[in-house]
Amino acid sequence: MKLSDYATVIRSKNSGPFEITFDILFKDKESYQLFKDKQLINKESMAKLYQIKQEDIHHLVYFDYALGIKITMARKYSSGSFRDRDVYGAQQGALLQEYNFN
């Protein structure tokens, strides 16, 4: 069950210099409801995928009206620091696209 088969938008972006936000918008209500009912995207699955602690995930919210999920988590390195490899945070969503949520 790959997320890219169910969602039309999977993106990431900076949420300030110390956080990244992910937006996931599903293609239809049935797809959204499947992920919401089974809680396939949760703090545990995100922490495992991004190899971070669950407490570093600050927000994970399902939005019924938008058929979407918003996730905000701490960055390993602040945006623009010498260790940062993705200044805008725009490449981090790629992991979610092919991740198997079974």
| Token code pair at residue 68 | 């979407």
Residue 80, both tokens: 């623009």
Per-residue model confidence (pLDDT) at position 82: 87
Mean pLDDT of 79-98: 87
pLDDT at 98: 85
Report CA dihedral (97, 38, 70, 30) to the nearest 10 degrees.
80
The highest-confidence range among 1-5, 10-14, 86-90, by mean pLDDT, is 10-14
- Quick one: pLDDT band at residue 84, thresholds 50, 70, 90? confident
Q: What domains sit in the chain, N to C, each tagged with a CATH number?
A: 3-94 (3.30.70)
At 42 the pLDDT is 96
Q: What is the pTM of this model?
A: 0.91
Long-range contacts of 5-9 (CB under 8 A, 24+ apart): 6/31, 6/32, 6/34, 6/35, 7/31, 9/68
Q: Note the pLDDT of residue 1.
A: 80
The DSSP annotation for 42-93 comes to SHHHHHHHHT--GGGEEEEEEETTTTEEEEEEE-SS-TTSTT-S-TTSTTTT
